[in-house]
Amino acid sequence: MSERREDIGVVDKREVDTMVHQELRSGNWFVPAADIYETPEQIVLVMDMPGVCFDCAHVSVVDDELVVTGHVTHGEDQDDYVLYREYDVGHYHRHFGLPPTINRDKIEASMADGVLSVIMPKVEEFKPRRIPITVGE
């Protein structure tokens, strides 16, 4: 086996705790790896959900949480004989607390190449604004 390691590492998929999420008992469920970053205008959530096509991902706001679910449709053929396996294929589920700075009505989500992006614009009053300075008397 001639393998050499580069600067990207292997991170095992994290399974969803089915003691907490009992509705997810059937099938494999994983917690998608997520990047969260903030700009002055918005908060962006980016998640790896390989095997999920764009119409099999669901994003919803429930109370003060953003709930993300993705059903895997690509990644394993049921008819194939698996000879060797280093990862399991499964669905994805994760909750995120929503801060009050987010405008819940303007949240948008898009999916491409197994990556789900959720763009959450801030409420106007939390966006940076310039305060005009008038000439003092």
- Positions touching another protein (CB under 8 A) are 1-12, 33-40, 43-44, 46, 48-53, 73-77, 79-89, 112-115, 117
Q: In the block, which residue shows the tokens 């990207």?
A: 8
Query: Phi then psi for 14, rounded to 5 degrees?
Result: -95, 130
Shortest Cβ 66–another protein spacing (Å)? 13
**Smaller CB distance to another protein: residue 60 or 110?**
110
**Smaller CB distance to another protein: residue 22 or 37?**
37
* Cβ proximity of 47 and 68 under 8 Å: yes
Shortest Cβ 137–another protein spacing (Å)? 38
The Cα 95–Cα 100 span in angstroms is 16
Shortest Cβ 88–another protein spacing (Å)? 6
Q: In the block, which residue shows the tokens 């294929």?
A: 89
